[in-house]
Amino acid sequence: MTDQDNKHDTHSLLNAAAQHPIVRLSDVCKTYEQGKIMVNAVHDVSLDIQHGDFAALCGPSGSGKTSLLNLIGGLDVSNSGTVIVDGINLATIDGSELSEVRKNRIGFVFQSYNLIPVMTAYENAAFVLNLQGVDETECRDRVMATLKAVGLEGLEKRRPDEMSGGQQQRVAIARAIVTEPAIVLADEPTANVDSHTAESLLDLMEKLNRQQGVTFLFSTHDQHVMDRARRIIQMHDGKVESDNIQAG
Amino acid sequence: MNLNKLAWRNLWRRKRRTMITGFSVAFGVMLAVTFTGAGDYFYTRMIDAGASMGMGHVTIEAVDYHRAPSLKKRLHHVETLREKALQLPQVADVMTRITGQAMFASASKSVGGMFIAVDPAQENSENNLFIRSIIEGSMLSAPEGRNIIVGSKLAKKLHLRMGKKVVYTTTDVHGEIVSAIARVSGIFETGISEVDGAMAMLPIHSVQKVLGYQIDEATLLGIILKDQRFSKSMRDKLAAMPLYSGVEVLSWQQSQPELAGMIAVDKSSNYISQLLIGLLVAAGILNTMLMSVLERTREFGVMMAVGMAPSALFRLIMLESFWLAVIGLIAGIIITIPWYIYMANIGIDLSGAYGDDFNFAGVLLDPVMKIRLFQESIFAILFGLFTLALAAGAYPAWRAGRIPPVESLKTI
């Protein structure tokens, strides 16, 4: 095989990747046992998330938003249907392979930040890179660049208890995007911060989406957040009620 | 950040808890050192005292003498055997001795007992209990002559005083009854009633003549080692040497089975105490690590959600146990050193409880409790406690990696 052939193949793969969705859900169901009652948390959901999406899963509490994010993030397994993330069918891989998928392809942002309290902002952001075994110099360059991008330059040595809620969530976002994952899943990322901080976090995520092409899927029931999303996936009782691309 | 650093920082999240657990490990070290050190000291004293009562740490004697003692069974060329043994590096001293039964008679009374015939040139108070227990008179000055040193209770039974005559009767090498006269030149008191009431020490050449032994014949050679722990290996070494092929070589465990049995029983109960200490330490660590894992369930969920493998989480908790054990062991060493120095040099005087004549298995012991740790005991304590501490961390570590991240993330 010549170099020309190799280049051709690489281009083909990249094109194919660009054309295929990052997440594809087909007839996904998830049922929980709650005492003696079975709850259909996710019911027959089929959905594609494309590269560059800035999508919001909306709906009231109990509508299945977090359950769906957990399924996409490989934190939970569906009862039926298929969940394909970045070309990998999550139902066909074991626990350690799921860990690898989460580590290398998915970024997580949680409602309550969930930073590791004994680590500094820098160390929290570098945590996943360390798990990936990225060498120290590269790790440092990437983390510093990411912290700068999320507006935390100069706060690298602060621990979570020395930062505001908004700053902590920025560290969480830095931790999620520093590995350049295929998708960032954010569960109510602005729920624990004031409206001003929420606005700036949304600005940040939107900027990362537009400038760096980071794909975001976040759950929310905040109308203000929904207004900023370019795609709204409305859920109710575990089902997708509507899936609309916003104008503008 | 590597797991080691993270584990270390995690330990100091709750300083007080870590310090309390560390102190419990440290206290465990101190207790283990005290128990083991007391054992090492006590057993060594007993074995050394036993050895100085005649047989040594290793005994060379005629074949089958030990099972059926008889003055007919004797060693030949004892000087050659002694000289060769003295050349071995672990050997501190070798004494030529004749031991046997005799009837002691004074002008007023007769009493059955035992004699030990010695060469004064080979004896000293370190390797001979009777010499260091002399309370009247002095040690025999020559291997010949008609002197005798008797036990204080034997002297009392026979109404003997210094300078009085004693007739001792025994059987010679041919089985004939023979007698000789000796004059009391010393009285010893070991504090062991059975010994003081029946034993007497005689000059070896005189006894050889009485028994019909040649000058280079004796019933045994008692070997004193620099360290009693080498008794078995020295026995094996000597037994393998061609020079000793026609004789029997016994370790102190073989020559004094009652003492060996008592020590074995005492050691067993000591091991149980040590195990209980270890379990208490392990329970403390288990409790700490379990609490620590339970209160960090959500954090572990986050770690696994972002890609940490359960095996890495297991390693993290094990590293926390490791560092907790290290902290405890270092603290243990720090607090134990002054205690050890005090106990090794001064000790605790138990004479109030046991009296001055404290004997165990027929061996007189110093009533001051001291401790002394063998090197291997130090390693055994540190290794044992360290292993137990790590084992105690294994369950919490395993448990942490078992909770699915989606469940962990639900916890507050």
Closest CA to B35 of B387, B385, B381: B381
Distance (Å, whole) CA B282 – CA B269:
20
B404 to chain A, any CB pair closer than 8 A? The answer is yes
Q: Model confidence over B355-380: pLDDT tens digits?
A: 666 666 556 667 788 888 888 888 88
What pLDDT does B140 receive?
86
Distance (Å, whole) CA A222 – CA A193:
12
Contacts of A181 (CB under 8 A, 6+ apart): A104, A105, A106, A107, A214
Distance (Å, whole) CA B176 – CA B212:
10
A140 to chain B, any CB pair closer than 8 A? The answer is no
Minimum distance, in Å, between the CA of residue B311 and any CA atom of chain A: 9
A65 to chain B, any CB pair closer than 8 A? The answer is no
Q: Model confidence over B319-342: pLDDT tens digits?
A: 998 999 999 999 999 999 999 999
Q: Model confidence over B397-408: pLDDT tens digits?
A: 888 888 887 777
Contacts of B5 (CB under 8 A, 6+ apart): none
Which residues from chain A sit within 8 angstroms of residue B297, using beta carbons?
none
**Torsion, CA B380, CA B381, CA B387, CA B391, rounded to 10:** 140
What pLDDT does B70 receive?
84
What's the mean pLDDT in B188-211? 91
Q: Model confidence over B222-275: pLDDT tens digits?
A: 999 998 889 999 999 999 988 888 899 999 999 888 888 888 888 888 888 888
Distance (Å, whole) CA B52 – CA B316:
55
Q: Model confidence over B24-33: pLDDT tens digits?
A: 889 988 998 9
**Torsion, CA B192, CA B198, CA B199, CA B202, rounded to 10:** 160
Kind and range of the H or E run holding B186: strand B177-188
Contact B309 A116 (CB under 8 A): no
Kind and range of the H or E run holding B12: none
Distance (Å, whole) CA A128 – CA A99:
11
A86 to chain B, any CB pair closer than 8 A? The answer is no
A108 to chain B, any CB pair closer than 8 A? The answer is yes
Name B157's bridge partners: none
Q: Model confidence over B164-185: pLDDT tens digits?
A: 999 999 999 888 999 999 999 9
Contact B307 A103 (CB under 8 A): yes
Contact A116 B302 (CB under 8 A): yes
Q: Is the dihedral of CA B44, B49, B53, B54 positive or negative?
A: positive
Contacts of B295 (CB under 8 A, 6+ apart): none
Contact A117 B13 (CB under 8 A): yes
Q: Model confidence over B111-151: pLDDT tens digits?
A: 999 999 999 989 888 888 899 889 999 888 888 888 999 99
Q: Does residue B359 contact residue B351 with C-beta atoms inside 8 Å?
A: no
Query: How many CB atoms are located within 10 Å of the residue B19 CB?
Result: 16
Residue A135 in tokens: 């060498």
Distance (Å, whole) CA B259 – CA B385:
30
What pLDDT does B359 receive?
64
pLDDT band at B85 (very low <50, low <70, confident <90, very high): very high
Q: Does residue B292 contact residue B399 with C-beta atoms inside 8 Å?
A: no
What pLDDT does B50 receive?
82
What pLDDT does B220 receive?
92
**Torsion, CA A136, CA A141, CA A144, CA A150, rounded to 10:** -120
What pLDDT does A55 receive?
92
Minimum distance, in Å, between the CA of residue B14 and any CA atom of chain A: 11
Contact A76 B303 (CB under 8 A): no
**Torsion, CA B67, CA B73, CA B76, CA B80, rounded to 10:** 20
Minimum distance, in Å, between the CA of residue B37 and any CA atom of chain A: 41
Minimum distance, in Å, between the CA of residue A231 and any CA atom of chain B: 25
Q: Is beta strand B110-118 parallel, antiparallel or unpaired with respect to B91-105?
A: antiparallel
Query: How many CB atoms are located within 10 Å of the residue B119 CB?
Result: 20
A133 to chain B, any CB pair closer than 8 A? The answer is no
At B230, the amino acid letter reads F
End-to-end CA, chain B:
25
Which residues from chain A sit within 8 angstroms of residue B404, using beta carbons?
75-76
Closest CA to A238 of A8, A11, A32, A9: A32
Which residues in chain A land under pLDDT 50?
Answer: 1-4, 6-17
Contact B404 A76 (CB under 8 A): yes
ipTM, 2 dp = 0.83
B2 to chain A, any CB pair closer than 8 A? The answer is yes
**Residue A122, class by beta-carbon neighbours within 10 Å (0-12 exposed, 13-18 middle, 19+ buried)?**
buried
Q: Does residue B317 contact residue B382 with C-beta atoms inside 8 Å?
A: no
Residue B411 in tokens: 């916890």
Q: Is beta strand A54-58 parallel, antiparallel or unpaired with respect to A231-236?
A: parallel
Which residues from chain A sit within 8 angstroms of residue B401, using beta carbons?
none
Distance (Å, whole) CA B132 – CA B155:
18
Which residues from chain B sit within 8 angstroms of residue A175, using beta carbons?
306
Which residues from chain B sit within 8 angstroms of residue A119, using beta carbons?
1, 6, 9
At B68, the amino acid letter reads A
Query: How many CB atoms are located within 10 Å of the residue B359 CB?
Result: 18
Contact B305 A108 (CB under 8 A): yes
Is the pLDDT at B73 greater than 80? The verdict is yes
Q: Which of B298, B305, B310 sits opposite A102 (nearest CB)?
A: B305
Residue B27 in tokens: 């206290």
- Interface with A, mutate which of B306, B320, B323 (most A CBs under 10 A): B306
What pLDDT does B184 receive?
94
What pLDDT does B180 receive?
93
What pLDDT does B380 receive?
86
Is the pLDDT at B104 greater than 90? The verdict is yes
DSSP, residue by residue, A144-201: HHHHHHTT-TT-TT--GGGS-HHHHHHHHHHHHHTT--SEEEEESTTTTS-HHHHHHH
Contact B305 A126 (CB under 8 A): no
- 3-state SS assignment for residue B234: helix
Which residues from chain A sit within 8 angstroms of residue B312, using beta carbons?
131
Question: For A89, phi and psi rounded to 5 degrees?
Answer: -80, 110
Distance (Å, whole) CA B109 – CA B155:
11
Find tokens 């920082």 and name the residue.
B9
B3 to chain A, any CB pair closer than 8 A? The answer is no
Which chain A residue shows the shortest CA-CA distance from B412? A112
pTM: 0.76
What pLDDT does A19 receive?
57
Q: Is beta strand B358-360 parallel, antiparallel or unpaired with respect to B363-365?
A: antiparallel
Which residues from chain A sit within 8 angstroms of residue B13, using beta carbons?
117-118
- The per-residue pLDDT of chain A, averaged, comes to 85
Q: Is beta strand B165-171 parallel, antiparallel or unpaired with respect to A23-34?
A: unpaired
Query: What's the Cα-to-Cα distance from A47 to each of A108, A227, A237, A239, rounded to whole Å?
Result: 19, 21, 16, 11
Q: Which of B9, B13, B406 sits opposite A70 (nearest CB)?
A: B406
Name A242's bridge partners: A234
Distance (Å, whole) CA B381 – CA B270:
13
Minimum distance, in Å, between the CA of residue A7 and any CA atom of chain B: 32
